[in-house]
Structure 1
C-alpha cells in the first residue's frame, strides 16, 4: 500500500528508487515511462520515509584531528 498522495504502489516506488541508484533520472524516466515530476515525487517521498526512520545519535566521545584544526 502506498501513501495516499502517491498514485503508485509501494512496490513500484521501491523499484523506481532502486533504478535511480543505478541510473540517471532521464534514463529511469524513459525506462519506466514516467515524467520527471513523477520521479521527483517518488524521490521526495522516499527521502521523507528515510529521514523519519532515522534515530538521533548522541555520541559519548568526540575525536579531533589536529591536522584539520586551522586557526584564522
Structure 2
C-alpha cells in the first residue's frame, strides 16, 4: 500500500509540475502577445489613419469641361 501511495503522490506531483509549466508557458505567450500588440500600436499610432491618407478624387479643372 505504501508503494501505491508513493506512486500516486509522485504522479500527482508530476501532474502538478506539468500543469504549472503549462500555465507558465501560457502566461509567457500571453505576455509576448501583449508586448507585440503594444509595440504595433506604438508604431502605428504616429501614422495617420488610412481614411485620411486615402487619395481623394481630384476636382475637375475648368480645362476638363
TM class by shorter chain equals 0.3 to 0.5
Q: Which structure has more helix as a fraction of its residues? A: 2
- Higher relative contact order by CA 8 Å / sep ≥ 6: 1 or 2? 1
Larger Rg: 2
Structure-1-length-normalised TM-score:
0.34
Structure-2-length-normalised TM-score:
0.37
